Structure formats: C-alpha cells, structure tokens
Amino acid sequence: MTETEISSIFVSIFVLLGSLLSLVTTIGLLRLPDVYSRTHAASKSATLGVLLVLLGALLFFYKDSGLDARLILGIVFVFITSPVAGHLISRAAYYTNVPLWDKSVRDDLKNVSKEKRNRSAER
Amino acid sequence: MRTNDVVLKTATQLVTFIIIIFSIYVFLQGHHNPGGGFIGGLMTAAAIILIGIAFDIKTVRRILPFDFKLLTATGLLIAVLTGIGAFIFDATFLTHTYDYFYLPLLGKTELATALLFDIGVYFVVIGVTLTIIFTIGEDS
C-alpha cells in the first residue's frame, strides 16, 4: 500500500468516528432525562467528535500543504473551551434551581451550598 | 449573586492569549487569504469582552485605561491620513502601493500601504464594538 492510501484510510476512520460521536451526542440530547445528563452528553462526546473530524482534516491536508497550524490551534481550543462551556451551563442550571431527575439518588452539592448559605446568614 | 467561578477565570486567562494571537494572525494575512481588519478587530474585541464576562468591567477598564471612543477616532484618523498621504507623492486620493523589503527573521516580505489603512479599520471596529457592549453592560 502506498502512503496516500494508508493516510486516506486513517482520514476516513477519523471522520466516520467523529460523525458517529456527533450522532451519539444528538441521540443523548433527545433521550436523556434532565439538564445535567444532557450537558454531560453534549460536552463530552461532542468534543471528541469535533476533535476527531478536525484530526481527519489535519491528516487530509498534510500531504498537500503540511501541518496546518490553524487546525492544531482549533483542536487545542475546542479541547479547552468545550468542557468549560458544559461546566458553566450545568452550574448556571443548578444555581437557578433546575430540578434533578426524580430518580437521581445523590446531591453532594446541596449540603455544601446550604452550609454556605447558613454561614452567610449568621454573619 | 456573584459566585466564585475559578474554572471560567482560569480558562479565560489561557484562552484570551490564543484568541488575540489568532486575531493578529488573521489581521496580517488579510492581503492574501481570508481575513483582514474587520474580522481581526471583531476577534480582538471578543477576547476583551471575554475578560469582561469572566472578571468584571472594572478589570477591563484597569487593563485598558482609556476611552474606547478615542480608539475609534484614532482609527478613522489613520484611515484618512493614509488616503491623504498619497497626495505627497503626487497621486490621487487613496492610491496604494507596495514594495518588497528584507526583514530580519522573515526574509523577503511584501509590505503594502493597504496595511496602514487596515490598521485604521481594525481600531475602528475594536472601538465601536467595545463602546457598544460596555455602554450597554455597565451599571449606571
């Protein structure tokens, strides 16, 4: 097998896996019960899906124009910012009292925030 | 309620540098590739607004302690002056030219006077965007 054939196989694997993960994200957004599990689906698998598609693009353009700095920067940028966005969305939902799924059993943050509120009330 | 958002602040400190450097890159490559003064200015303004969201408008005022309306005026002045500068060389208004120079590290580089005009556009876009956003966002 020549070099281009091997690289095109890898490109197709990366792009297919990435689009599959994006599909998984969409199904997760539709099927999961509450905000927190939905942001869990949206931030994790969507990030990896985008990363894999970008990696495929990086490999695809490597043989023509070398490593594209913008794509590497895009990979690093999405990898940093997407989980932070998911964190902020679920955090904003929690502090505006969006209810958890009725079958969820543990809420560790509840006691912490209650303690904090009591402490600030004492002062 | 002002909560303690360490994650956003730390990510902002890292990401702002990436956005500003990429905006300067987009600004400089505008002559030959997609990009230019408008989109570069918008991206720089977006980075500054991100600092404003993660920290405070007061912090941004401390980092950039001047009126953003002055930035707009400076940009317009630069743009007009590059147009008037053509008169010195006996050409019509807004005539642009370019030449090749040998710079250290970069080698043979094409420098065009259109870059000066683009710097004006860059400043105007940053100034107008930040003025709009911070005028709306500030508590009176």
pLDDT tens per residue across span A49-89: 999 999 999 999 888 888 888 899 999 999 999 999 999 99
For residue A63, give both structure tokens.
């043989």
Q: Where are the beta strands (DSSP E) in chain B?
A: 98-103, 107-112
**Is the Cβ–Cβ distance between A34 and A101 less than 8 Å?**
yes
DSSP string, A23-85: HHHHHHHHH-SSHHHHHHHHHHHHHHHHHHHHHHHHHHHHHHH---HHHHHHHHHHHHHHHHH
- Contact at 8 Å (CB) between B97 and B112? yes
Higher pLDDT: B138 or B9? It is B9
Mean pLDDT over B6-26 rounds to 93
Residue position matching structure tokens 């490597």: A62
Distance CA A44, CA A39 (A): 8
User: With contacts defined as CB-CB under 8 Å, which chain B residues touch A81?
Assistant: 11, 15
Average pLDDT score over chain B: 88
Query: pLDDT (tens digit, 9 = 90+) per residue, B28-83?
Result: 988 888 888 899 999 999 999 999 989 888 888 899 888 899 999 999 999 999 98
pLDDT band, very low/low/confident/very high, at B1 (cuts 50, 70, 90): very low
Out of B3, B11, B22, whose CB is closest to A80? B11
Can you give the pLDDT at residue A67?
85
Q: Is B53 on the interface with A (CB under 8 A)?
A: no
Asked whether the beta carbons of residue B18 and residue A88 sit closer than 8 angstroms, the reply is no
Determine contact: A92 vs chain B, CB below 8 A: no
Q: Which pLDDT score is estimated for B140?
A: 57
3-state secondary structure of B109: strand
CA distance B7 to chain A (A): 7
Query: Measured between CB atoms, does B4 come within 8 Å of chain A?
Result: no
B19, B43 contact by CB (below 8 A): yes
Any CB–CB contact under 8 A between A80 and chain B? yes
Residues 15-44 of B with CB under 8 A from A: 15, 18, 22
DSSP state of B112: E
